[in-house]
């Protein structure tokens, strides 16, 4: 490895085959998954669709939280805006006088969510981190409630159904065409990964990380703080928006309860678990958490009940992991903050800092190494 | 619709609910004032207090229509039990989930607090189930206006409203005096101002911070009990909503400011009450959170707060 490559690697610009091999493996595993699923009779493909969409969501949130260091607790609001945009534009029960096809709706959903991101972000991105988090949380509470209350247009808690389906080269995307949907989402996910990795290495991406690490230094290098943050916020919102419109079309149904606060927290957990700022970490974290949420909690509970019956231990029968999901996510957040705030697969900058501060020893200390941009401004 | 009687009646409802919001808001403000942490789990400590109160009421077999000194003593006992339990819970949360992160970046303890909040919500869900639970009508609901004037008037100020105010006001006054007049209160103010200097003056910073959590937790526990008695309903998700309302109240009054939290709580209570009546209860949260966003944008220091140095 030349000195130049080593330097680039250190500042987080990915290069070389060494860093790309696991990515290729992951992509290959994802591509053959439907075949494996069918072969082993796992019956998980239906659940894999929302899991993959949640990974796309987590990738978008990673721009906001991981790259730019802004805590967004109302991410589900943009998801809701994207989903309802698609519903308004394609559903036969929509109050709008015109309809579009799904693809246009998805693109419009992308921009509508971005617009709301800008409207919310422009006045609030000057705020301190935790204040910004509360503003986004308040926004995340307002949006689903507005959709719930505007019954005349949105159907309130009855939701909207059906919603337009995508059409592509004569391929059907019906509710039972899981394999078609799977590859569609996979392609969208791959395009997102490509776009985000280009963004990460671009001038803008480096500006995001500079602002996150030390905003005073970044500002004195000529980076416009508010504009840079606003772009991160708007990009994150737009990802959530188009994922929302796909979600609506996939399930053919939107209602306000799909976009509660717990969804924002679930996606945030994915980003933190995987490693804020590391896209591949976020993908792995997203797959783990979403599959726990959608598949494993249920199956583990069945398995524990099976064991409980076999050894005749009623305590095991009373365990229900699906009802304890919030507890498990909450505990995961606390433990991650206490013991491994950089996540499972830390971003390269964090990894470097961890090594510098004493590596494994520092990682084992209960007090984590300051990693956020606040470290520079704290005290 | 806008007759003075109705305006006054809605005001009274708002005032009674506002005092409970103020009690919770005090917990946010105490903790934020001293460690600059939005204790996201605080609203859920309040919820746990309400659930404990319901459990104790059930265990003691208290039901409607048993007034007398015995009932008063039992209610007082439940109040104290809730306050002690929530105080200890809040201190334990601080010890295990926040203290190890005190030197970490600001967002780390905040994310940890969200995690604790989720855990408590789930505990509440296991404890009392997913649907709202009835809290017995233990307080006599005699209309004092009618009782004093002798004739029916359309404005009611019941013994229930009076009870809520009589119970919360002394707690607030006691807290204000404690922070303003005692040595421990002085230590709290010193720690809030400059933690290092306070430590050098011989103040045990860890204990002082724990004290802020202790007081906040006790007030949340009292709030949980009083909210159960007044609204006659507890629900595992009540802490999330009440927590956000109270946080809005604390920000409205000026976070870190004790008088401000009380003022903000009463204002939010009254605003929600008018919004419940004149708009629709379904829009109240939108109104309150809208106020929160607008406040954050235009006056993050709140009504009574000095502008805090913006460090980010």
Number of domains making up chain B? 1
Say if the Cβ atoms of B122 and A338 lie within 8 Å.
no
Per-residue model confidence (pLDDT) at position A7:
61
Say if the Cβ atoms of B244 and A272 lie within 8 Å.
no
In a domain, B270, yes or no: no
CA distances for B68 relative to A266, B157, B167, angstroms: 50, 21, 17
Say if the Cβ atoms of A330 and B105 lie within 8 Å.
no
Which residue in A124, A327, A333 is closest to B296 by CB distance? Answer: A124
Say if the Cβ atoms of A149 and B280 lie within 8 Å.
yes
In tens digits, what is the pLDDT along chain A, a chain of 379 residues? Answer: 466 666 655 555 555 555 667 777 878 887 888 788 777 777 777 788 888 889 999 999 999 998 988 888 889 999 999 999 999 898 888 787 887 888 888 899 999 999 999 999 888 888 877 788 888 989 998 999 999 988 888 887 888 888 877 777 767 777 677 788 888 888 888 898 889 889 888 999 999 989 888 888 988 988 898 899 999 999 999 999 989 999 988 888 888 888 888 888 889 888 888 888 888 888 888 888 888 877 777 777 777 777 777 777 776 667 677 778 888 888 988 998 898 877 777 776 666 665 555 443 333 333 334 444 444 444 3
In a domain, B88, yes or no: yes
Per-residue model confidence (pLDDT) at position A360:
38
Mean pLDDT of B200-228: 93
In a domain, B194, yes or no: yes
* Residue found under tokens 């082993």: A40
C-beta of residue B268 within 8 angstroms of C-beta of residue B285: no
Interval B65-74: pLDDT, tens: 566 777 888 8
Say if the Cβ atoms of A370 and B103 lie within 8 Å.
yes
| Highest-scoring range by mean pLDDT, B82-91, B124-133, B280-289 | B82-91
Cis status, amide bond into B226, omega within 30 of 0? no
Say if the Cβ atoms of A215 and B310 lie within 8 Å.
no
Say if the Cβ atoms of B115 and A329 lie within 8 Å.
yes
Average pLDDT in chain B: 87
A143 sits in the region (left: phi over 0; alpha: psi -120 to 50; else beta) called: alpha
* ipTM, 2 dp: 0.86
Q: Which of A5, A60, A8 is nearest to A348 (CA)?
A: A8
Per-residue model confidence (pLDDT) at position A32:
81
| B106 contact A CB<8A | yes
B182's CB contacts (< 8 A; 6+ apart) are none
Per-residue model confidence (pLDDT) at position A354:
58
Domain ranges for chain A, please list them. Answer: 25-291
In a domain, B310, yes or no: no
Cis status, amide bond into A162, omega within 30 of 0? yes
Per-residue model confidence (pLDDT) at position A3:
64
On chain A, the residues whose CB falls within 8 A of the CB of B280 are 149
On chain B, the residues whose CB falls within 8 A of the CB of A128 are 106, 310-312
Q: Which of B209, B255, B287, B116 is nearest to A127 (CA)?
A: B255
| B92 contact A CB<8A | no
Q: Which domain holds residue B143?
A: 4-239
Number of A to B CB contacts under 8 A, please give it: 152
Interval A128-164: pLDDT, tens: 777 888 889 899 989 999 999 888 888 878 888 888 7
Query: How far is it, in rounded angstroms, from Cα A302 to Cα A198?
Result: 43
On chain A, the residues whose CB falls within 8 A of the CB of B312 are 127-129, 215, 373-374, 377
Say if the Cβ atoms of B106 and A265 lie within 8 Å.
no
In a domain, B246, yes or no: no
Confidence of residue B218 (pLDDT cuts 50, 70, 90): very high
In a domain, B271, yes or no: no
On chain A, the residues whose CB falls within 8 A of the CB of B108 are 337, 341, 368, 372
Q: Which helix (H) or strand (E) holds B134?
A: strand B133-134
| B99 contact A CB<8A | no
C-beta of residue A75 within 8 angstroms of C-beta of residue A61: yes
On chain B, the residues whose CB falls within 8 A of the CB of A272 are 111
Which chain B residue has its CA at the smallest distance from A341's CA?
B108
Say if the Cβ atoms of A337 and B311 lie within 8 Å.
no
Per-residue model confidence (pLDDT) at position B54:
93
Please calculate the CA angle B99-B102-B106 and round it to the nearest 5 degrees. 130
Tokens of A315: 């305590």
Per-residue model confidence (pLDDT) at position A16:
52
Tokens of A151: 């019954």
Query: How far is it, in rounded angstroms, from Cα B23 to Cα B42?
Result: 11
What are the respective helix, strand and coil percentages of chain B, to the nearest 5?
75, 0, 25
| B25 contact A CB<8A | no
DSSP 8-state code for residue A368: P
From chain B residues 125-164, the ones with a CB under 8 A of any chain A CB are: 125-126
Interval A23-41: pLDDT, tens: 778 788 878 887 887 777 7
| B107 contact A CB<8A | yes
């Amino acid at each position: 490895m030349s000195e130049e490559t080593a330097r680039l690697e250190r500042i987080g610009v990915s290069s070389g085959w060494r860093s790309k091999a696991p990515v290729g493996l992951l992509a290959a595993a994802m591509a053959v998954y439907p075949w494996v699923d069918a072969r082993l009779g796992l019956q998980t493909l239906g659940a894999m669709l929302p899991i993959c969409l949640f990974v796309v969501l987590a990738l978008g949130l990673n721009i906001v939280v991981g790259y730019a260091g802004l805590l967004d607790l109302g991410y589900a609001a943009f998801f809701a805006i994207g989903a309802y945009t698609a519903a308004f534009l394609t559903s036969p029960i929509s109050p709008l006088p015109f309809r579009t096809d799904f693809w246009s709706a998805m693109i419009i959903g992308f921009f509508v969510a971005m617009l709301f991101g800008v409207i919310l972000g422009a006045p609030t991105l000057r705020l301190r981190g935790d204040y910004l988090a509360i503003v986004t949380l308040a926004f995340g509470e307002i949006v689903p409630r507005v959709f719930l209350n505007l019954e005349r247009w949105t159907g309130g808690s009855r939701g909207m159904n059906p919603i337009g389906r995508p059409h592509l080269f004569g391929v059907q995307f019906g509710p039972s065409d899981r394999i078609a949907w799977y590859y569609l989402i996979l392609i969208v996910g791959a395009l997102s990964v490509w776009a985000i990795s280009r963004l990460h290495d671009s001038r803008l991406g480096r500006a995001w990380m500079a602002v996150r690490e030390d905003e005073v230094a970044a500002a004195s290098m000529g980076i416009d703080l508010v504009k840079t943050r606003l772009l991160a916020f708007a990009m994150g919102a737009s990802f959530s928006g188009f994922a929302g419109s796909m979600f609506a079309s996939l399930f053919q149904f939107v209602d306000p309860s799909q976009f509660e606060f717990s969804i924002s927290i679930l996606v945030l957990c994915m980003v933190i678990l995987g490693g804020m700022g590391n896209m591949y970490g976020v993908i792995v974290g997203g797959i783990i958490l979403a599959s726990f949420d959608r598949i494993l909690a249920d199956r583990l509970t069945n398995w524990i009940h099976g064991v409980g019956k076999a050894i005749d231990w009623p305590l095991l029968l009373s365990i229900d992991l699906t009802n304890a999901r919030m507890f498990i996510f909450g505990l995961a957040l606390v433990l991650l903050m206490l013991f491994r705030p950089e996540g499972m697969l830390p971003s390269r900058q964090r990894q470097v800092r961890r090594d510098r501060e004493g590596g494994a020893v520092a990682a084992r200390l209960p007090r984590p190494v300051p990693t956020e941009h606040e470290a520079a401004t704290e005290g | 619709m806008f007759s003075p009687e109705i305006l006054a009646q809605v005001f009274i409802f708002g005032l009674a609910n506002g005092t409970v919001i103020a009690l919770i808001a005090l917990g946010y403000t105490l903790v934020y004032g001293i460690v600059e942490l939005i204790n996201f789990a605080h609203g859920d400590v309040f919820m746990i207090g309400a659930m404990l109160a319901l459990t104790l009421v059930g265990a003691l077999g208290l039901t409607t229509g048993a007034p007398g000194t015995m009932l008063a003593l039992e209610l007082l006992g439940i109040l104290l039990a809730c306050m002690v339990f929530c105080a200890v819970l809040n201190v334990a949360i601080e010890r295990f989930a926040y203290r190890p992160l005190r030197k970490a970046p600001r967002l780390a303890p905040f994310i940890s607090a969200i995690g604790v909040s989720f855990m408590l919500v789930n505990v509440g869900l296991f404890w009392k189930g997913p649907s709202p639970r009835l809290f017995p009508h233990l307080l006599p609901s005699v209309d004092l206006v009618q009782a004093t004037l002798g004739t029916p008037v359309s404005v009611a100020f019941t013994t229930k409203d009076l009870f809520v105010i009589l119970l919360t006001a002394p707690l607030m006054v006691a807290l204000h005096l404690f922070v303003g007049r005692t040595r421990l209160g002085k230590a709290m103010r010193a720690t809030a101002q400059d933690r290092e200097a306070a430590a050098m003056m011989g103040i045990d910073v860890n204990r002082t911070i724990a004290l802020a959590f202790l007081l906040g937790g006790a007030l949340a526990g009292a709030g949980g009990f009083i909210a159960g008695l007044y609204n006659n309903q507890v629900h595992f998700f009540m802490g999330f909503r009440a927590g956000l309302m109270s946080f809005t109240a604390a920000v409205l009054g000026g976070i870190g400011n004790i008088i401000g939290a009380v003022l903000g709580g009463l204002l939010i209570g009254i605003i929600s009450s008018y919004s419940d009546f004149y708009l629709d209860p379904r829009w109240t949260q939108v109104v309150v959170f809208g106020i929160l966003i607008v406040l954050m944008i235009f006056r993050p220091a709140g009504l009574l707060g000095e502008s805090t140095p913006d460090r980010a």
